[in-house]
Amino acid sequence: MMKQRKRLAGPIALAITTTLAASAASAQAVDTARIEAGGQNDWLTYHGSYKSYHYSPLAQINASNVGNLGVAWIHIPGRSTRGLQSMPLAADGVLYYTGSYSRVFALNGATGEVIWSYFPELDEALVARQTHSPYNRGVAIGEGKVFVGTMDGRLIALDMKTGKLAWETKLLDSQKLTVGFTGAPLYANGNVVIGAQGGEWPGRGPIFGVNAASGAKKWEFLTVAGTEEAQKTWGNDSWRTGGGGGWMPGTYDSETSTIWWGTANPAPLYDWSGGDWKTQGARPGDNLYTSSVIGLDVDSGKLKFYHQELPHDAWDFDSAVGEFLMLDRDGKKLTVHPNKSGYIFVYDREAKVQNVWRITENSNFVKNIDPKTGELIGRRDFTAGKVSEPLCPHISGGVSWNAGAYNPKTGLYYKLGQEWCMTLDIVKTTPVVAPQAQLNIGANFTIAKPPSGEIYGHLDARDPVTGAKKWEVRFPEPPLASVLSTGGNLVFVPDSRGTVHAYDAENGTELWNHSDGTGHQGGIISYAVNGKQYIAITAGFGGMAADDYAPTFGGVYKSMPRDDGALIVYSLK
């Protein structure tokens, strides 16, 4: 397929050439060791580092001077259909991010000048058929390349300095499956790992490992019935259409060469088996490895371990969301991972449950989850027809697919919780796989208030292992974007109304805020160029969750655009 790359005007090209020369002179290769070290001035992988802290040690912007924070520059990517959801990356003074339609930009991190841009040529008819699109959530960098997944099922590598195509590899038959890649890839140990979108499509949720140098596919792991053991957990050949896309990036444990990855819900999304889910309904059984955390060998894709957070998930509370905090606590190596349900799982480094705690107040899909074993207690399973009591949380989750943040200085985990519910009418469906796969929901639903009162969201500062809460800040509507913590004793939260807040990391006191003019549902990072610290935020509202805000909350959301977006970068005035 032909691609096009925008050429730059003469004076800009000259300035950029100068910038690139300076950058190249000081730049070091981005590889696994550098990402592992998590350089202070950079943001080299989706979760900030392999520890997934979403934390910058930079402290130039701090609790004493954050009141002087102002807009340094803005970049408009254009054609931001359904807003922006990208997590920017930064390396050696250059900022990389994506817009809708799998577009990639490289910008001067100090000025916002465009160094290069890359717009893959896409089949617009295919894009129009895809339900969860055309947004893109970011890139990976490594070995002098920028990696991006496309909506039509390709993984593309671009030269970091020029944006020139290095290679592209077709991984998915998107014409048939009607899904592609919206999540960011992960670079680790010479590999690029990426998972297909689509928990509720009749596929098998493949995750791919690709040679970063050549683009050759090395391995493919199917999150639905990827082993003989797993296939036995899908009754009636339902594994053939089981869903389970691992649509968000995981992280990497270099000590064991293991990829940690979360997988999505099974299809149909809602099941009508009732309490007989082991033997009845659309997909009888546990449905391994959907709604699970899995460990794969980074070089071979071989399954090392797993924990299914929600066996036979009947609620769309998948495990593909969020971060994997890699902690050392009292001599133990732990991994903390949020499930979309609002329960936070704490594992050892082989995914054995060490604790489970809940961040949300309103939750009734189960009565509880055993903190010692991870077993679901008092689960609600539905038969066809209207569900009598609203299901909590709402399908958008007790936590967002976006990430929380951990600050190693305070020892606190800053995570957003969402308090909302939904009415539900379960409908029996049949998977549609030809000529193109179709979304398989299995229900009609509407957002609803929780039994305790109004819908709201909250930022919690908690111990990541025990869940003990130190402080909380409430929002009138659930925020959907990522959280950033910094060495300057700050926690940044971009909210859904379009305001960016900075809080004191120790006590939650609001120290600064600024309106970006449209809602946030993407990433936020911090980086430095020539000794100056910046905060970069993607703004732009739209998509499955955001589209409910105008009819539910009214107010500012009635006039908020759905097809605009911008990258907004702040620094001290």
In tens, the pLDDT along 130-156 reads: 988 899 999 999 999 999 999 999 999
The per-residue pLDDT for 26 is: 52
Cβ atoms of 174 and 127 within 8 Å: the answer is no
Per the structure block, which two tokens stand in for 267?
Answer: 């299809």
Kindly state the average pLDDT of the residues 71-84. Answer: 96
Cα dihedral value 121, 123, 127, 129, nearest 10: 180
Residue whose pair of structure tokens reads 């305001």 in the numeric block: 499
Superfamily for domain range 32-572: Quinoprotein alcohol dehydrogenase-like superfamily (2.140.10.10)
Give me the amino acid identity at 368: N
CA pair distance 140, 161, nearest whole angstrom? 14
Mention every residue, 6+ apart, whose C-beta is less than 8 A from residue 266: 199, 224, 242, 243, 244, 283, 287, 290, 291, 312, 313
Average pLDDT, the chain: 94
Instruction: Say if CB 419 and CB 458 are below 8 A apart.
Output: yes
**pLDDT score of 296 more than 90:** yes
Rounded to whole angstroms, how far apart are CA atoms 162 and 497?
36
pLDDT in tens, 513-540: 999 999 999 999 999 999 999 999 999 9
DSSP 276: G
Q: What was the pLDDT predicted at 377?
A: 98
What is the structure's pLDDT at 326?
98
Kindly report the number of other CB atoms within 10 A of residue 558's CB atom. 10
Across-strand partners of 539?
566
> Residue 8 above 70 pLDDT?
no
- Separation between Cα atoms, residue 34 and residue 522, nearest integer Å: 25
Examine the residue annotation and report whether 316 is marked as an active-site residue of this protein: yes
pLDDT for 18 equals: 41
pTM for the full predicted model: 0.95
Structure tokens given for 527: 């980086």
Which pLDDT score is estimated for 527? 98
Q: For residue 348, which phi and psi values (nearest 5 degrees)?
A: -85, -175
What gap in Å lies between CA 293 and CA 346, rounded to an integer?
Answer: 11
**pLDDT tens sequence across 380-400:** 999 999 999 999 999 999 999
**Using 50, 70 and 90 to split pLDDT, how confident is the model at 259?**
very high
Per DSSP (E only), the strands in 339-419 are 343-348, 353-358, 368-369, 376-377, 385-386, 405-407, 412-419
Contact 82, 100 (CB under 8 A): yes
Q: How far is CA 569 from CA 107, 312, 406, 517, in A?
A: 11, 43, 22, 14
Residue 16 has pLDDT above 70, yes or no: no
- The mean pLDDT value for 428-456 works out to 95
Q: Assign 411 a pLDDT band (cuts: 50, 70, 90).
A: very high
Average pLDDT score over residue span 481-496:
98
pLDDT of 3 over the 80 cut:
no
92, 286, 316, 564: the active-site residue: 316
pLDDT of residue 250: 98
Q: CA-to-CA distance for 119 and 99, rounded, in angstroms?
A: 9
CA–CA distance, 38 with 32 (Å, rounded to integer): 10
Query: pLDDT tens digits for 188-224?
Result: 999 999 999 989 999 999 999 999 999 999 999 999 9
Using CA atoms in the order 225, 226, 232, 238, what is the torsion angle rounded to 10 degrees? 10
CA-nearest of 402, 437, 432 to 172 is 437
Instruction: Quote the percentage of the chain above a pLDDT of 90.
Output: 93
Q: Give residue 39's pLDDT.
A: 83
pLDDT category at 28 given cuts 50, 70, 90 is confident
Stated as kind and residue range, the H or E segment containing 15 is helix 10-26
Q: At residue 5, does pLDDT exceed 80?
A: no
C-alpha neighbours within 13 Å on the C-beta side of residue 523: 29
Residue 25 banded pLDDT, cuts 50, 70, 90? very low
Indicate whether 15 pLDDT > 50: no
Q: Please count the other Cβ atoms lying within 10 Å of the Cβ belonging to residue 439.
A: 19
